[in-house]
Amino acid sequence: MRMTLRQRYELVENKVAQACDACGRDREGVRIIAVSKTVDLDAVEEAIAVGVHDFGENRPAELLRKFEAFPQERWHFIGNIQSRQLPSIVGRACLIHSLYERKHAEKIDSLAAKAGIVQDVLIEVNDGEENKQGLEPDALFEMLAFCHGLKHVRVKGLMIMALRGDLQSARATFADLAILRDTMNSKLAASGMADMVLHELSMGMSDDYLEAIPEGATMVRVGRAIFSDDYAG
């Protein structure tokens, strides 16, 4: 028998709670981002009714449409950034998870300045795979220092996507990102930029979020496990 959205969400919630308990973490330290990119407004409304308030979208047009339908919820942009689409994202996304290019940081800063806001972002890090978006780890500090000089961009942490289908590799990727985050915080403090502290780690999706939590994930991006009728994970 297929589960309802409520049952699927409650199952994910219970698994997150159990994973936190198993590794001695506070459940409140992990936020579930319900990735709603494949569903329509009715499914979002149903999700809100069962207690979901953080949603992830990877297309600016969909982010805009759903934000306008449910402006009281927290909308996260998790897709690849294109400059021409940033006006639809800045000020609507509570957090942009996928920043890794300076030109986009500058554009976000300019748009946020015009709107009179500070836009929260995460820097996306590449896990080493070819042809995958994200910043190389050895270029991260320069990017952080650059963003530190922007008045309307606030870097809250890091994001990564792990190789799918290999849970051991995924967990190693998540562990490496946590180490990188701690290293960057130390370098920022030592370089006179202690006001920039990377708290957030956005890592783990439907297939591997249980590997991300023991490694310090503060946000897990879960779509199919919540919204898909045929998800078997």
> Structurally, how many domains does the chain consist of?
1
Average pLDDT over residues 179-199: 98
| DSSP code per residue over 98-115 | EE--HHHHHHHHHHHHHH
User: Would you say residue 232 lies in a domain?
Assistant: no
Which CATH number do you get for residue 151? Answer: 3.20.20.10
| pTM, rounded to two decimals | 0.96
pLDDT digits (tens, 9 = 90+) for 118-127: 999 999 999 8
CA–centroid distance for 168 within its chain: 21
Chain position carrying tokens 């990727």: 173
Q: Given phi > 0 = left and psi -120 to 50 = alpha, else beta, which region is 19? A: alpha
The whole-angstrom separation of Cα 201 and Cα 161 is 11
Cα torsion 51, 57, 62, 65: sign = positive
Average pLDDT over residues 171-196: 97
pLDDT digits (tens, 9 = 90+) for 137-170: 999 999 999 999 999 999 999 999 998 889 999 9
User: Would you say residue 74 lies in a domain?
Assistant: yes
Alpha-carbon distances, residue 87 vs 55, 56, 133, 154, 190 (angstroms): 19, 17, 21, 17, 35
User: Would you say residue 151 lies in a domain?
Assistant: yes
User: Would you say residue 107 lies in a domain?
Assistant: yes
User: Would you say residue 138 lies in a domain?
Assistant: yes
User: Would you say residue 233 lies in a domain?
Assistant: no
Beta strand pairing status for 200-202 and 54-57?
unpaired
User: Would you say residue 56 lies in a domain?
Assistant: yes
**Domain span at 97:** 5-227
The whole-angstrom separation of Cα 207 and Cα 223 is 10
Query: Residue 5: is its pLDDT beyond 80?
Result: yes
Instruction: List the beta bridge partners of residue 159.
Output: 124, 202
The whole-angstrom separation of Cα 19 and Cα 12 is 10
pLDDT of residue 232: 58
pLDDT band at 229 (very low <50, low <70, confident <90, very high): confident
